[in-house]
């Protein structure tokens, strides 16, 4: 893919993010590109990060030093407790996911979303269990830059688990293709049903 100016600045920001301590974990399109091809395959609108709840304050301070001082809560894990945050610095955008841990298990908790799907409140009220090694994948190379993705199974499960509930609307053709690529590359002997993450209704 021909490198755009925005992609170049995304890669510069990724390199800066990778110098933070502890090293942050990436999800979304850039993580998929790194794992599937080692290069940027298409333009991306934003950079997607994912953190454990106990790093929230630290990461907000670190990201503020990089220019990300204004954040919007686009999803809550519980009333007043974010799990999905959006930040912007000029035209650079970061989506930040916050994961909770209970009894040694990692959960993406979807209490409420700040947007609609098909004119109705986005489906919510559930939690998805993510792999225990969510934050342990070693760095891989993206356009010669180190990036630490979440594991392929976690990438697949987050997208497939949310899509099963239509919380972000129907998957695009590209998103469906990426799920198929992840499955073919990393879990060719497992069915789509087997790859869905464990889930349960949120207990209020």
Predicted confidence (pLDDT) per residue in 85-143, tens digit: 999 999 999 999 999 999 999 999 999 999 999 999 999 999 999 999 999 999 999 99
pLDDT one-digit tens code per residue, 127-184 = 999 999 999 999 999 999 999 999 999 999 999 999 999 999 999 999 999 999 999 9
Architecture of domain 5-187: 2-Layer Sandwich (3.30)
Q: What are phi and psi of 72, to 5 degrees?
A: -115, 140
Decide if pLDDT at 198 tops 70: yes
- CB-CB neighbours of 72 under 10 Å: 11
**Spatial CB neighbours of 96, under 8 Å, sequence gap ≥ 6:** 48, 49, 50, 51, 59, 63, 71, 84, 85, 86, 87
Q: Which run of H or E residues covers position 186?
A: helix 173-186
Query: How many whole angstroms separate alpha carbon 182 and alpha carbon 53?
Result: 27
**pTM of the entire predicted model:** 0.96
DSSP-derived 3-state class of residue 183? helix
């Amino acid at each position: 893919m021909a490198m755009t100016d925005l992609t170049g600045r995304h890669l510069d920001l990724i390199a800066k993010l990778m110098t933070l301590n502890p090293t942050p974990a990436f999800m979304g399109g850039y993580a998929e590109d790194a794992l599937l091809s080692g290069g940027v395959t298409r333009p991306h609108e934003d950079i997607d990060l994912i953190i454990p709840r106990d790093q929230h304050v630290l990461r907000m301070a670190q990201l503020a030093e990089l220019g990300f001082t204004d954040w919007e809560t686009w999803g809550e894990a519980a009333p007043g407790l974010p799990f999905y945050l959006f930040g912007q610095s000029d035209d650079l955008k970061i989506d930040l996911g916050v994961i909770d841990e209970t009894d040694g298990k990692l959960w993406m908790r979807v209490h409420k979303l700040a947007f609609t799907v098909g004119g109705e409140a986005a489906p919510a009220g559930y939690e998805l269990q993510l792999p225990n090694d969510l934050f342990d994948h070693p760095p891989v190379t993206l356009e010669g830059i180190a990036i630490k993705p979440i594991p392929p199974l976690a990438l697949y499960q987050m997208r497939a688990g949310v899509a099963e509930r239509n919380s972000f609307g129907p998957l695009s053709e590209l998103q469906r293709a990426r799920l198929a690529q992840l499955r073919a590359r990393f879990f060719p002997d497992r069915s789509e049903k087997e790859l869905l993450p464990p889930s349960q209704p949120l207990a209020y």
